């Protein structure tokens, strides 16, 4: 996918609809075992936050493509002692071919992208999580054979997942309804941007306090933890606020009869989702987790090219 070669992925808005769909097709092809090797390429993982799926899926994806991975330990690097990000970015740029960063402030990945010539991949910030959403879209497409015209309902905190999902849904022609408590709504600027994109595609981005309204006739029901990384101290106070937004069997009766349930994991069973739903017939959570590897493999092939 030459159009993406050398480019960064910091936000879902970095991809057009055609680019997103082409990436998903490439991910599907790679999932079938059509490997496009990346010889003598090195991926750096610079993670300031804990990770299971993102770390392992990137590592396996790059290894299967024939490249190598360096898992950079922030605490053992000079940035852990105050070296400016701009300096670290320019040094790593001389060693690596691509860098995936998982951090808190979105401005940090923008700084790396500014000072490094190699592609920078946002592997999660507090603002967005585009790599997860590529896997989400791949999973939806596998289940329904299409994206355009479907409705996705998201319940819970208006966090980085909500942001990337609404931008992605708007881009590919899906309706999205976000149900969250009044003090936990998504960033208004991102909502406005998503609605602007959606209006050009004839779709809607709805923000509501009603989980019933959001889930009504939805083909995809999505949830995430109520307290993201860095918000653990707020967990006890958030639980009673978010309880009405739990994805459970009763709420799913309002969704499309053929709907699927997604969760980016890790899940707090009994909080944002019940155990019977997570393990139930509508859950596609484990396919979704697997697709992290395939979607990221397609992304790596696209931004690096093949030898």
Domain boundaries, the chain: 2-128+292-304, 132-288
Pairing of strands 260-263, 220-223: parallel
Please say whether the beta carbons of 58 and 123 come within 8 A: yes
Q: At CA 22, angle to CA 35 and CA 164, rounded to 5?
A: 110
| Digitized pLDDT (tens) for each residue of the chain, 307 residues in all | 568 999 999 999 999 999 999 999 999 999 999 877 888 899 999 999 999 999 999 999 999 999 999 999 998 999 988 999 999 999 999 999 999 999 999 999 999 999 999 999 999 999 999 999 999 999 999 999 999 999 999 999 999 999 999 999 999 999 999 999 999 999 999 999 999 999 999 999 999 999 999 999 999 999 999 987 667 777 788 999 999 999 999 999 999 999 999 999 999 999 999 999 999 999 999 999 999 999 999 999 999 997 6
CATH T-level topology, domain 2-128+292-304: Rossmann fold (3.40.50)
pLDDT of residue 40: 87
Please say whether the beta carbons of 118 and 140 come within 8 A: no
Please say whether the beta carbons of 39 and 305 come within 8 A: no
CB environment 50-83: b (16+ within 10 A), e (fewer): ebebbbebbbebbebbebebeebeeeeeebeeee
pLDDT of residue 25: 96
Residues marked as catalytic? 102, 129, 132, 224, 264, 292
pTM of the model: 0.96
Same CATH fold, 132-288 and 2-128+292-304? Answer: yes
pLDDT of residue 307: 65
Report domain 132-288's class: alpha beta
pLDDT of residue 169: 98
pLDDT of residue 234: 77
Residues contacting 284, CB < 8 A, separation 6+: 139, 143, 260, 261, 262
């Amino acid at each position: 996918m030459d159009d993406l070669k050398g480019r960064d992925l910091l936000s879902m808005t970095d991809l057009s609809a055609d680019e997103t769909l082409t990436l998903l097709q490439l991910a599907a092809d790679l999932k079938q075992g059509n490997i496009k090797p990346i010889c003598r390429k090195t991926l750096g993982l610079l993670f300031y936050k804990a990770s299971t799926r993102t770390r392992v899926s990137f590592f396996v994806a790059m290894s299967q493509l024939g490249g190598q991975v360096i898992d950079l330990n922030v605490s053992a690097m000079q940035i852990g002692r105050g070296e400016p990000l701009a300096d670290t970015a320019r040094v790593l740029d001389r060693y690596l071919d691509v860098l995936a960063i998982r951090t808190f402030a979105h401005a940090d990945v923008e700084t790396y992208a500014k000072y490094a010539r190699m592609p920078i991949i946002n592997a999660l910030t507090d603002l967005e999580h585009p790599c997860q959403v590529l896997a989400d879209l791949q999973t939806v497409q596998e289940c329904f054979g299409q994206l355009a015209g479907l409705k996705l309902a998201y319940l819970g905190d208006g966090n980085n997942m909500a942001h990337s999902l609404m931008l992605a849904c708007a881009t590919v022609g899906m309706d999205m309804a976000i149900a969250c408590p009044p003090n936990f709504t998504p960033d208004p600027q991102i909502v406005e941007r998503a609605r602007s994109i959606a209006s050009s595609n004839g779709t809607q981005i709805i923000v509501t306090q009603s989980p019933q309204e959001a889930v009504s006739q939805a083909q995809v029901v999505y949830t995430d933890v109520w307290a993201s990384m860095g918000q653990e101290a707020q967990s006890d106070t958030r639980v009673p606020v978010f309880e009405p937004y739990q994805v459970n069997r009763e709420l799913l009766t309002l969704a499309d009869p053929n709907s699927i349930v997604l969760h980016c994991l890790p899940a707090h069973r009994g909080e944002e989702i019940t155990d019977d739903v997570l393990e139930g017939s509508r859950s596609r959570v484990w396919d979704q987790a697997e697709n992290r590897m395939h979607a990221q493999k397609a992304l790596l092939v696209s931004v690096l090219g093949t030898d």
